[in-house]
Amino acid sequence: MTSMARAPSGDVRLAAADVAIAAQLACLIEASAPKPGNVSPGRHFSDARYEDFLASAAAIGEPMAGAGTRPVGVTVRLAVEATARWTRSNINLGIILLLAPLARAVLALKGVGSLFPDGHGKKAPDPLIRDALRHVLETTTVEDARDVYAAIRLAAPGGLGRVEAQDVAGEPTMTLVDVMRLAADRDLIAREYTTAFDMTFLAGVPALERARGEALSWDDAVVETFLSLLAAAPDTHIARRSGTAMAVEVSRQARAALAAGGVRSAAGRRAIDDMDRGLRDARHTANPGTAADLTAAAIFVALLGGGWPDSRDARATGGGRDAATR
């Protein structure tokens, strides 16, 4: 990673560049895992290829690096604009909406950044990040909402429809967190803004850290995390495009796949494959996109807490020399 300041405790404070790398890496890891109903290597949509997700991951680096120096809404707008220069702008809108306040919160910790582990098993405590996140969300402004509305209009996600109050086609008159409260009953990402990211911190991060702690590969750990999030709540991206009944049914399938063992058993993998085949249609109307976005947020938090293996891990497994020379 880039150079980082040593904290008095012996931990290391993340620099802005490290937060940007963690955001990019979270997007790459999430997109690369074979999550049912989603794009992954060799499994493209007619209007979105895996390479589009790689480009969008790279594009958000600079906006996320500056998240600590600008309002949340500006970071969201800049990240969507950067994505639009490289690929379809609606590839990563949900991820950007989740990562922007998290990045600002992490960079606000102790003035310069969060605590990165020093190799002795320490990690940035999630309550510390959430406290900073609550402050970021509670202090959003009407200007933040205007910038986010502009970003949403540019991304032009499908299935939004129209609402009577604070519709994104117009100009908001409420703060960003307040307009998110209006949408919380129909959009899980909006609900995250109103709960200080309950799904991310109480479902996504624990599932991912448990899976990685039990030696699952990144691909398997991400698929298990995705299924856990999807099982916990119907995907609102599916609900917008195909109705609540379909979203509830897909959540039931996720629970059934996990009950069969998920990525940890042959029966579970067959259930995941069957689920994937059933979710694919020409218009991707059953794509669990919100669960995928929440998975990326969970990965981001885990990476900021030291979830990425470094050279010490490679030496511990005897893989240091080969890994360095490949």
Confidence check: pLDDT of 321 > 50? no
16 versus 117: which is more confidently predicted? 16
Confidence check: pLDDT of 6 > 80? no
Confidence check: pLDDT of 121 > 50? no
DSSP annotation string for 89-134:
TTSSHHHHHHHHHHHHHHHHGGGT-PEEP-SSS----HHHHHHHHH
Average pLDDT over residues 225-245: 96
Per-residue confidence (pLDDT) for residue 123, from 0 to 100:
53
How would residue 13 be classed by pLDDT, with cut points 50, 70 and 90?
A: low
- Angular region, 39: left φ>0, alpha ψ -120 to 50, beta rest: beta
How would residue 125 be classed by pLDDT, with cut points 50, 70 and 90?
A: low
pLDDT tens by residue, 170-219: 899 999 999 999 999 999 999 999 999 999 999 999 999 999 999 999 99
Indicate the CATH number for domain 11-310. 1.10.4200.10
Per-residue confidence (pLDDT) for residue 307, from 0 to 100:
86
**Alpha carbon distance, N-terminus to C-terminus of the chain:** 18
Indicate the average pLDDT of the chain: 87
Q: Residue ranges of the domains in the chain?
A: 11-310
